[in-house]
Amino acid sequence: MVQSVVTMLDERENVSPHDELEELTGMRTGSASPPENSVLGRLLPDFHRVDAEGVEEKSDETAGLNSALRSLNEPHIIEAKRGVASVLLETLPPEGGKVSLSPEQADAWVTAVNDARLALGTMLEISDETPEEIDPNDPRAPQLGVYHWLTWMQDSLVTAVMGD
């Protein structure tokens, strides 16, 4: 799952337009438009989506601001997500078993597990109305089980990192 997230992020980065600004200034920029893929949209959301009352703003000013912020920040966000995924994959025992992590590695795991959980939750269209358990014959049942395991893993990691 984590490698799938990295692959999606790599594909997003590869479809970004040619970056002439980086050639001139050394500043990397990315795509100014939001991802069309719903999973990438969840992993790389707009910087401003909803106001305090929950009303979505669709003004030209907000769209322009989101585009500028996305263009300037998305490459760094992708790089950070790729970095934490790399830490998780490198510290995962190839044959399974006990995992011992430094505090920095545990922080990376929290973020990487969160990204995998967000991706899977988006693919499964998890919402507040999604039941905890579904019919075992439902084709989504195995994936929902993985989603719940990722939720447990994320909670366990956060608890360990916070020292509770």
Q: CA–CA separation, 62 vs 162, rounded Å?
A: 36
- Looking at residue 59, its pLDDT comes to 73
| 3-class secondary structure, 88 | helix
Length of the chain: 164
Domain that holds residue 63: 2-162
- Looking at residue 51, its pLDDT comes to 59
% of the chain with per-residue pLDDT over 90: 52
- Looking at residue 107, its pLDDT comes to 96
What total number of domains does the chain contain? 1
Give per-residue pLDDT as tens, 13-24: 888 766 676 677
Give per-residue pLDDT as tens, 120-138: 999 999 888 888 888 888 8
Burial bucket for residue 123 (CB in 10 Å: 0-12, 13-18, 19+): middle
Give the Cβ contact number of residue 5 at 10 Å.
Answer: 23
pLDDT band of residue 57 (cuts 50, 70, 90) is low
Higher pLDDT, 14 or 57: 14
- Whether the predicted pLDDT of 162 surpasses 80: yes
Average pLDDT over residues 136-164: 90
- Looking at residue 50, its pLDDT comes to 58
Q: CA–CA separation, 70 vs 78, rounded Å?
A: 11
Q: CA–CA separation, 77 vs 34, rounded Å?
A: 14
Average pLDDT over residues 104-118: 96
Give per-residue pLDDT as tens, 63-94: 788 888 888 889 999 999 999 999 999 999 98
Average pLDDT, the chain: 87
Cα→Cα distances 103→14, 22, 76, 160, Å:
32, 34, 22, 9
- Looking at residue 70, its pLDDT comes to 83
Q: What is the pTM of this model?
A: 0.83
Higher pLDDT, 133 or 152: 152
Q: CA–CA separation, 140 vs 146, rounded Å?
A: 10
| 3-class secondary structure, 56 | strand
**Which tokens in the block code for residue 27?**
């500043």
